[in-house]
Amino acid sequence: MKILATGRYLPEKVLPNSYFAKALETSDEWIFSRSGIKERRIASEAESSSYMGAQAALDALAKSGISAEEIGMIIVGTSTSDYIFPSTACQIQAVIGAKNASAFDIQAACTGFLYSLIMAHQFLKSGTCKNILVIGVDKLSAIIDWQDRSTAVLFGDGAGAVIVQANNNGEHGHGHLLAFDMGADGNQEKILYVPNCNTVRTNKIDISNGTAMVMSGQEVFKHAVTEMAKSAKKTLETAGLTLDDVKCVIPHQANMRIVKVLADRLKIPQEKVFTNLERYGNISAACIPVALSEAEKHYNLQPGDKVLMVAFGGGLTWASAVMEW
C-alpha cells in the first residue's frame, strides 16, 4: 500500500480561546496550559461532515494523478455523519463522481481514520481494488454542549483524506503498511460518549434532551496515554523497528499534555512528534489525516521514510500503524 496523495479541508472560521473567555468561566491561560490549544476551526451550517470530507477528497484527488473514476472504494471514519443513512462515504462518492467505488463509514470516534486506513490496507492486500480513498472527518462543534467549559474548549471541525494504492512491488516495496495494532474496551463507554446526534437537521444539538458529549476528562486522559503507548510499542515491535528508524510520529491531537506524556513514555525526541492542535484543537477522526497532510511537507517525507501514527477515542478505541512512505 502506498500513499498517492493527501488532502485536507479546514473551515475558514477561526474561534480563538478569547471567545470562550468571554462566554464562559474560563481563560486563554487555562485552556492553553491544560490543552495546548490556542484556536480551533468551526464549520458553518453549510459545512456538514460530507461537505468537508468531499473537499478534503478533492484536494487529495487533484494531487494524486488518478481520476475519481479510478477509485474502487471510499472508507470514511466519522462519528458525526450527516444522516443515519446514507453514509457520509456515499454522499462523498456522489459529490466527487467516484462512480466505480463502493462506499461505507467506520465509526470508531477519534480512532476512525486509523481503523479505516488499516481496513483499506486489507482490501488492497487481498486484491479487491487498486485505489482506495480514506477520509477522516468530524464536526464536533455540532455535538458539544457550548455551555460546558470542560468539553467545549477542546474540540473543532475539519477533514483529512488520503488516497492509497496497491503496491505493485508486493510486500517489500516502498509504501507498505509495515505493522499495525487495533484495540477497544467497551467497558469504558461512559467516560466519553454522545447519546445521540444529527449534524444536519439543526447544526445545534438540543442539550435539554441530553444529547451532548459527556466526558470524564481525567479518566480519558489516563486511558489515552496508557493505550496509545502500549499500542505504539506493539506496532513497532511487530515491524521489527525502533523509534530511531522512524522519521516522525503522528499522535492523535487530543491534548498537548497527553502528547507530551506519550512522548516521554516512548522516549520520542520532541522534534519527531508532529502537532497542530494549537491551531485546530481536537478534530477527532480528522486529526491524523490532517496532521499527515501537513507533516508530509514539514518533514519532506520521501519514499522509504517511516511514519508512526497512533490514535485513541471514544468506545474506547485505539490503534497504531507504522508505514513506509
Nearest approach in angstroms of CB 145 to ligand COA is 12
Which lies closer to ligand COA via its Cβ, residue 89 or residue 224?
A: 224
User: Where does residue 171 rank: exposed (0-12), middle (13-18), buried (19+ CB within 10 A)?
Assistant: exposed
Q: In what order do the strands lie in the sheet with 317-324?
A: 177-184, 317-324, 306-313, 248-251
Are residues 74 and 29 in contact, defined by beta-carbon separation less than 8 angstroms? no
320 touches ligand COA (CB under 6 A): no
Number of residues that bind ligand COA (CB under 6 A): 21
Please state the closest distance from residue 51 (CB atom) to ligand COA, in A: 23
What's the rounded Cα separation, in Å, for the pair 186 and 314? Answer: 9
The reply to whether 221 sits near ligand COA by the rule CB under 6 A is yes
DSSP state of 176: -
CB-CB contact of 199 with 142 (8 Å): yes
Residues 75-134 that bind ligand COA (CB under 6 A): 110
Nearest distance, CB of residue 280 and ligand COA, angstroms: 13
Tell me the pairing of strands 73-77 and 131-139.
Answer: parallel
Give the DSSP per-residue string, 118-160.
HHHHHHHHTTS-SEEEEEEEEEGGGTS-TT-HHHHTTB-EEEE
Residue position matching grid coordinates 454522499: 91
Catalytic residue numbers read: 110, 252, 282
Member of 218, 240, 244, 300 binding ligand COA (CB under 6 A) = 218
Interface with ligand COA, residue 198, by CB under 6 A: no
Residue whose C-beta lies closest to ligand COA = 217
Type of residue found at 90: C
Residue 317 as a binder of ligand COA (CB under 6 A): the answer is no
Q: Is 30 in the site for ligand COA (CB under 6 A)?
A: yes
Q: Contact between 26 and ligand COA (CB under 6 A)? A: yes
Instruction: Determine the interface stretch with ligand COA among 30-38, 63-71, 75-83, 259-267 (rule: CB under 6 A).
Output: 30-38
- According to CB under 6 A, which residues from 231 to 290 bind ligand COA? 254-255, 258, 282
The CA distances from residue 16 to 29, 38, 40, 139, in Å, are 12, 6, 7, 17
Selected from 14, 32, 34, 58, the binder of ligand COA by CB under 6 A is 34
CA distances from 221 to 102, 158, 270, 277, 316 (A): 36, 22, 20, 16, 12
SS (H, E, C) 293-314: HHHHHHCCCCCCCEEEEEEEEC
Specify the residue, 49 or 282, whose C-beta has the smaller distance to ligand COA.
282
What minimum distance in Å lies between the beta carbon of 35 and ligand COA? 5
Nearer to ligand COA, 31 or 73 (CB): 31
Q: Return residues touching ligand COA (CB under 6 A).
A: 26, 30-31, 34-35, 110, 149-150, 153, 215, 217-218, 220-221, 224, 254-255, 258, 282, 312-313
